[in-house]
Structure 1
Amino acid sequence: MIQVQGLTKRYGPNTAVDALSFDVTPGAVTGFLGPNGSGKSTTMRMIMGLDRPDAGQALIGGRPYGELRQPLREVGALLEARTFHPGRSARAHLSALAAAGDIHPARVAEVLATVGLSDVAGRRAGTYSLGMAQRLGIAAALLGDPGVLLFDEPVNGLDPEGVRWIRDLMRSLAAEGRTVLLSSHLISEMALTADHLVVIGQGRLLADTSVRELTARGRSLEEAFFTLTEGASVHRGTAHHAGHDAAPERNAR
């Protein structure tokens, strides 16, 4: 489970994330939506311990990322596509990660097959297209077989077949009981992939609700999203949290 509690991040006079709180629970794909510059990537970086918050905290299984005993086995993340040495092959890149994380070398071939890169695993990763680089990043996220996964814009550079593959992969990972947080700017695709949604704007929580509730009364997800982010109306949604029989409603801001 991911718990974001009062998370705040400032850059000089600008507040990128403003007292943000939400939970991401196992067994569902939680979509993370917001306009460009709304603080999504900054929030995910703070969850992964890459940026230090000015206030609040982000916990994974009750602990900050930096306190996890075996982080690659507990959390996998794709935050940027090309986080590899361009001169290394995909196989060498994943093998180095496996060695650093005390992960069995056999997992390298398994995740390469999962993401469809087995046939090009010996090529230098620097020659990969953006879509292939995204697949390699997903392979790295899956390497330790973690229970918690974060993906920031994983469909970038993928063709329609690749986008559909991502959709099926996200849903299958959630069906296995994993915690999946997925950020994407493709609202129509999020409508097909996510079960639950966290929507933010200007670093603040706008909605924490299910896709079904947000699209009630015949609205498309795109219509509901623009209504929220333009501040034209207030949405009232029910947040579903593991271990709570009757979760309180959360007001959109």
Structure 2
Amino acid sequence: MIEVHNLTKRYRGGTAVDGLTFTVEPGRVTGFLGPNGAGKSTTIRMILGLDRPTEGTARVGGRPYAALERPLTVVGALLEAGDLHPGRSAREHLTWIARTNGLGRARVAKVLEQTGLTEVAGKRARTYSLGMKQRLGIAAALLGDPEVLILDEPVNGLDPEGVIWIRTLAKRLAGEGRTVLVSSHLMSEMALTASHLVVIGRGRLLADLSTEEFVAAHSGSNLEEAFMRLTSDAVQYRAGGTR
């Protein structure tokens, strides 16, 4: 599971994350929601050891990310799908990641098939659409067959078929007992995908409960309406686009 305790991140310009405490349990899809500037991406980066907390801890399977012996086999993450060498093919990109993490070629072929990229695996990344790059990012996240999957805006750039595929994939992985955390701005998609929600605003925890309970607790006819009711006072924009 993912355990966040009193997680805080301060910058000179202010506080991005303010004393967050929550747990992401295995066996369900947890939606990570909040307005722009809420601190979602900063929180994810601290969970993954990419940013150091000012205070508090973030652990995966009881250990900080930096202490994991083979992190790719424990945590798979999608952050910036376009962050790859434009001259490399999908197969080359995944093979390089596999080699540096002690994984065999069989996993490369498996995730290419799993993400629908087998036929274009030899093409250079510069020729890929945003949706294809998104699928390649998800393939990289799945490469180590991890127990924990963290996806930041996974349906960005995907066509309707791709959106349904992501939804089905997240639910299937959770059904296998894995821990799945999905950050998204699309309330309609989260209503169909996530059974549990962690909602933050201005870096602070606003809600941590099931999707059904969340909608009922905030007098909404649907998730989007309930979300707007809860977060209307928590919307803020920071210089640099912090999320």
Q: Same fold (TM over 0.5)?
A: yes
Q: Distance in 2 between matches of 1:195 and 1:172?
A: 13
Q: Distance in 2 between matches of 1:22 and 1:50?
A: 19
CA deviations on 1:194-227 (whole Å, 9 max, x unpaired) are: 0100000000000000001012266210111011
CA deviations on 1:4-32 (whole Å, 9 max, x unpaired) are: 11111112131110001100010000000
| 2:224 match | 222
Q: Does 1:188 align with 2:193?
A: no
Q: Distance in 1 between matches of 2:41 and 2:139?
A: 20
- Aligned-pair distance for 1:83? 2.1
Q: Which runs of 4+ in 1 moved over 3 A?
A: none
One-letter identity of the residue aligned with 1:126: R
Aligned CA RMSD, in angstroms, stands at: 1.1
Q: Does 1:68 align with 2:71?
A: no
Q: Distance in 2 between matches of 1:13 and 1:40?
A: 17
- Aligned-pair distance for 1:231? 4.4
Map 1:141-160 → 2, pairs under 5 A: 141-160=141-160
Map 1:235-250 → 2, pairs under 5 A: none
Q: Does 1:105 align with 2:105?
A: yes
Q: Distance in 2 between matches of 1:29 and 1:227?
A: 23
Worse-superposed segment, 211-220 or 14-23: 211-220
Q: Distance in 2 between matches of 1:215 and 1:231?
A: 18
Q: Distance in 1 between matches of 2:178 and 2:192?
A: 18
Q: Secondary structure at the match of 2:198?
A: strand
One-letter identity of the residue aligned with 2:34: G
Q: Secondary structure at the match of 1:134?
A: helix
* Kept in 1: contact 2:220–2:226 (CA 8 A): no
- Count of residues in Structure 1 that have an aligned counterpart in Structure 2: 232
Q: Any stretches of 5+ residues in structure 1 without a counterpart?
A: 233-253
| 1:114 match | 114
CA deviations on 1:163-183 (whole Å, 9 max, x unpaired) are: 111111110110011000000
Q: Distance in 1 between matches of 2:104 and 2:24?
A: 28
Q: Any stretches of 5+ residues in structure 2 without a counterpart?
A: 235-243
Map 1:35-184 → 2, pairs under 5 A: 35-184=35-184
- Aligned-pair distance for 1:59? 0.2
Q: Secondary structure at the match of 1:180?
A: strand
CA deviations on 1:76-128 (whole Å, 9 max, x unpaired) are: 00011112111111000000111111112100010000000000000011211
Q: Distance in 1 between matches of 2:95 and 2:56?
A: 36
Compared with structure 1, are the counterparts of its residues 218 and 228 closer, same or farther at alpha carbon in structure 2 (3 Å cutoff)?
closer
Q: Secondary structure at the match of 1:31?
A: strand
